[in-house]
Amino acid sequence: MIYKNTMNKVKITLLFILITGVAFGQNIAYKKQEFELNNVKASVVKLKGNKVLKIERDLKALPFDKNNMVSTVDEPTFAILKGVDFENGIIEVKVLSRLLANAPDFARGFIGVAFHIDDDNRKFQSIYIRPTNGRAGNQFRRNHTIQYFAYPDYKFDRLRKEFPETYETYADIGLDEWITLRLEIIDSKVNLYVNGQKHPSFIVEEMKGSIKKGSVALWVDIGTEGYFKDIKVIKK
């Protein structure tokens, strides 16, 4: 009888996990896709009538230092799509970003995609967006709406200093709206299409990362309440 009761409790617990989609430990499942969490917290929730994957940076796993911002942003804060070894092809996902209640004043709703992640999560490349900049009241901030970076050597600050206006650009996007990101990656080049546009909104002519193949992940950073759905990876 004790064994039977114990098994029933285990079944109820597993059922609760499947229903709520809350991530206990390091993995979470979403629509037949499995993700490994790295410095993030995740859960499956309903948003605007759809079941989506919610991700936030885990500040206990990877603290943020407001006095040393540059060294603690553009970090490996992502949910890795398991079973994918990606080099060239297409990565497409719909993202929606909100600011957390305790977001710092420089938070921009950072959300995007990481790719070519090595086995130790020590090297990767990424394109992300800053939705608050898309409709800002000054052009300087608008020019920094989309960002490419290569971890660990080429974060946004170094790229901005050494290659001004090359690895970031403008797009008409905002907070709390679904934004489709479609990355077409061919060797060292990336074309980013936003919201189904015919022509790319952003062209990275020469990626800076030394790694050319690896995992794909959903990426967020400080102050972001990020939502993801319709995740597709097509290798070529």
- Three-class SS string for 85-103? EECCEEEEEEEEEEECCCC
Mean pLDDT for the stretch of residues 21-30: 69
| Tens-digit pLDDT profile for residues 65-107 | 988 888 999 999 999 999 999 999 999 999 999 999 999 999 9
| pLDDT score for 24 | 42
**Residue 185 pLDDT exceeds 50:** yes
**Residue 8 pLDDT exceeds 60:** no
CB 206 within 8 A of CB 191: no
- In 3D space, the residue among 80, 135, 111, 122 whose CA is nearest the CA of residue 224 turns out to be 111
Residue 52's DSSP bridge partners are 45
Helix (H, G, I), strand (E, B) or coil at 132: helix
Mean pLDDT for the stretch of residues 120-136: 97
CA 215, CA 185: separation in Å to the nearest integer?
A: 13
| Tens-digit pLDDT profile for residues 137-178 | 999 999 999 999 999 999 999 999 999 999 999 999 999 999
CA 201, CA 153: separation in Å to the nearest integer?
A: 25
Q: Domain residues of the chain, as ranges?
A: 2-235
- In 3D space, the residue among 124, 116, 37 whose CA is nearest the CA of residue 75 turns out to be 124
According to CATH, the topology of domain 2-235 is Jelly Rolls (2.60.120)
How confident is residue 4, by pLDDT bands cut at 50, 70 and 90?
A: very low
CA 93, CA 113: separation in Å to the nearest integer?
A: 8
